[in-house]
Amino acid sequence: MIVRVLASKIKHAWGLIASVVTQVDGVKEQDREAYLTELLYALLNNRAQCHLRLGPNEVKTLVITRFPVDRITGEKQLLLQSYYAFEKSDDNEWAENMQYAVDLAKKEGCTKVIFNSLNPKILEMANRFNFKEDYRMYSVDIGGA
């Protein structure tokens, strides 16, 4: 079963959310406080959402979503910002998770489900579910402020 954590219940799941997203999203230690503050604010104001796949006695997966609007096309998208499986998911669970995301995106008037990741397992699953690579982003640290 997949459930959305209501904004009014985020405080109960915040410890779990904070520990997962800082690992999954590769947040640098010096950016951690600002990152978590922005995420908490977004979750409490429904600008981001937390979804949990629940097993009989445990949380199996955690996903943070947002609904950005493409600045060029004006299209609303479902962004899978953070995804974490506490244990290996089988193909059936992956398919159910993807169907949940597609259904949510359609319900919210989105035209695409998007994500970014460097995790090879996530990229492999993206290929299996017909995602296509739109672009790659690279960076170089130049120092400064």
Q: What is the pTM for the complete model shown?
A: 0.88
* pLDDT at 113 (0 to 100): 95
> Residue 71 — pLDDT band, cuts 50, 70, 90?
very high
In a domain, 44, yes or no: yes
* pLDDT at 145 (0 to 100): 66
Report the percentage of the chain scoring pLDDT > 90.
Answer: 61
Alpha-carbon span 72 to 39, nearest angstrom: 25
* pLDDT at 88 (0 to 100): 84
104-141 tens-digit pLDDT: 999 999 999 998 887 788 888 888 888 888 888 888 98
Whether the CB-CB separation of 75 and 28 falls below 8 Å is answered with no
Q: Locate 61 and state its tokens.
A: 């997966």
Q: Residues 6 or more apart from 129 whose CB is under 8 A from it? A: 94, 95, 98
Whether the CB-CB separation of 46 and 64 falls below 8 Å is answered with no
Q: What is the mean pLDDT of the chain?
A: 91
3-state SS assignment for residue 109: coil
In a domain, 78, yes or no: yes
Whether the CB-CB separation of 45 and 31 falls below 8 Å is answered with no
Tally the domains of the chain: 1
Which tops the pLDDT comparison, 78 or 117?
78
3-state SS assignment for residue 61: strand
Q: Torsion over CA of 83, 100, 67 and 37, rounded to 10 degrees?
A: -40
Q: What is the CA radius of gyration of the chain?
A: 16
In a domain, 84, yes or no: yes
CATH number at residue 43: 3.40.630.30
In a domain, 117, yes or no: yes
In a domain, 28, yes or no: yes
* pLDDT at 60 (0 to 100): 93
3-state SS assignment for residue 108: coil
Q: Which domain holds residue 14?
A: 2-128
Mean pLDDT (whole number) for 46-73 = 94
> Residue 41 — pLDDT band, cuts 50, 70, 90?
very high
In a domain, 76, yes or no: yes
